[in-house]
Amino acid sequence: MPSRFLKSLQRYRVLSGFVIAFLYLVFSRPTPAALAIGLAVAFLGLAIRAWACGHLRKSAGLDVSGPYAYTRNPLYLGTFFIALGFGAASGSLWLFIAVAIFVASIYFPVMNVEADELERRLGDEYREYAAGVPLLFPRFSRWKKSDRGFDFQLYLKNGEYNAAIGFIAAASLLCIKAIFAF
């Protein structure tokens, strides 16, 4: 059941993401101030995602280094900041609210399903981690010290540069829209 739920949620996420993106491009009215604030917040999210991908060893065990020592879901945290940043950059309160609702309604259930799957797969190791590290919003101190540092090759292997390319493309479109006010 959880995996079927997750798969349908992921399909919904992709399709509805395109709908939100279309509405966003049509109805956004970015101003210089909205762009400055929003893109700064979105860039913070991009940096969090990049940091996480330099520590993420997919299916190689539990990652607890870098941002994973502060939050169990730094990729989703980064996505949350990117979405809210672009929502703010839109210059539209209703678009900001729509983006926030979209992100929360999709990612919180996905995080919980993934946490259940990790607990089933990793057992006590994951339960100890989950007891010490919050699901999304980070703790202020590192959970455990790890000697693993950021690995740029992991960043590349995980394809996170695609998020940077998307960020640049979306920010450019918003800047053009702000300049030409269309």
pLDDT tens figures, 56-89:
988 767 888 999 999 999 999 999 999 999 999 9
Q: Is 17 exposed, middle or buried (0-12, 13-18, 19+ CB in 10 A)?
A: middle
Cα separation, 114 vs 117, in Å, equals 5
pLDDT for 1 equals 47
Cα separation, 148 vs 62, in Å, equals 13
| pLDDT-flagged residues of the chain (< 50) | 1
Cα separation, 22 vs 14, in Å, equals 13
Provide the 10 A C-beta neighbour count for residue 23.
16
pLDDT for 35 equals 96
Cα separation, 64 vs 81, in Å, equals 21
